[in-house]
Amino acid sequence: MVVVSLPFVVYYICKAHYIDRHGERFSEEERYKMARKCIGIMMRNGRIETESFGQELLPKEGGYVMYSNHQGKYDTLGIMSSHPKPCTIVIDAYRSKLPITDSFIDLVQGSRLDKTDMKKQLKTILQIADEVKNGRRYIIFPEGGYDHNKNELQDFMAGSFKCATKAKAPIVPVAIIDSYKPFGVNSLRRVKTQVHFLPPIPYEEYGKMNTTEIAQMVKGRISSVIDRQLSQRAG
């Protein structure tokens, strides 16, 4: 996929740098449209199909935070290909500096979280909360890493939910299935993944809970969807 997509990747990296240098000329919608076009090319060249469910459940107005399980490098691409309105991502600052990833994060104006500096982390969380209050939509992976996760859930980090609690914004659980396969399985066969947007959890429902309780609740809802889908497939 990388070899076939290389000319397009080079073109879009150059275009992303241009947009970043002239950011005031490009709206968030225009940036997101370009990002999804790039994702579409990679999916086509990589023989990747992503089925999406629950778009009708997404809040029609205002900002919100999507919390998804984490399986691999394709996770964000699969969610964005399924999410019609502009959204962006919170990513570990170290991972964000990888080739291509760096340009993509700049294109969608994502937030980089420096896990080595607590003060910077708090500043980033508060910044994200303000952006969500003003209508932006974020993707966060509360599991952190994704090594060998596959369709198994790991512990959800409670601190990642502070972005939603401080913004008092809806939480949208997202369940992804087989998302580790596009970049984690050495095969030329066609790959199919799933993205499930679950019913939003309004602040009124979780506002009195602590972040540990919120993390357990969101994990439980995502786990139920994944277990149900895998059971249906096995049956």
Name residues whose C-beta falls within 8 Å of residue 233's C-beta, 6 or more positions apart in sequence: none
Give 90-137 as a DSSP string: EEEHHHHTSTTHHHHHHHTT-EEE-TT-HHHHHHHHHHHHHHHHTT-E
Rounded to two decimals, the pTM is 0.92
Q: Over its length of 235 residues, how does the chain's per-residue pLDDT go in tens digits? A: 556 666 776 666 777 767 777 667 789 999 999 899 889 988 998 899 999 999 999 999 999 999 999 999 999 999 999 999 999 999 999 888 877 788 889 889 999 999 889 999 999 999 999 999 999 999 999 998 888 899 999 999 999 999 999 999 999 999 999 999 998 777 678 999 999 999 999 999 999 999 999 999 999 999 999 999 999 998 7
Of 29, 35, 41, 71, nearest to 195 by C-alpha is 71
Radius of gyration of the chain (CA): 17
Query: How many other CB atoms are there within 10 angstroms of residue 26's CB atom?
Result: 16
